[in-house]
Amino acid sequence: MRLRAACLLAVLAASPAQAETAAECAAFWQALAGVWRDYPGVWTAPDTALALVDDFRKLSGGAVAGDRIASYRLMHRYALSGDRQSADLQRRIGARCDALLPAPGTK
């Protein structure tokens, strides 16, 4: 747990652009948690998504891009309904967010 906190604190000193991206990632996962509540059993469980919201909120210095949540929720719903463009965008954003977190086993 201490190592995880140390890794997060090291990243907290990140550039403003990275903090903004982390805030957008927090919004991305918060939106996914909301969609999951509407469609249980699809994708990531809300507890996991909300844990990621917390991780990205810490990386961003406490920020969540709240103005992005509604559009991310819409994107997740379109991806769920089979919209290919939304699914591709969802994967790209998810990959960008994953790249901000410490590698597994280094927490």
d(CA 71, CA 107): 31
pLDDT band at residue 84, thresholds of 50, 70 and 90?
A: very high
Given this model, what pLDDT does residue 93 score? 94
pLDDT in tens, 35-78: 888 877 776 677 888 888 888 888 888 888 888 899 999 999 99
What percent of the chain has pLDDT above 70? Answer: 75
Given this model, what pLDDT does residue 11 score? 44
pTM value? 0.74
Alpha-carbon separation of residue 33 from 45, 89, 99, 102 (angstroms): 7, 17, 20, 22
Alpha-carbon separation of residue 70 from 29, 33, 59, 83, 107 (angstroms): 12, 12, 21, 17, 31
d(CA 44, CA 21): 20
Range among 6-15, 35-44, 84-93 rated most confident: 84-93
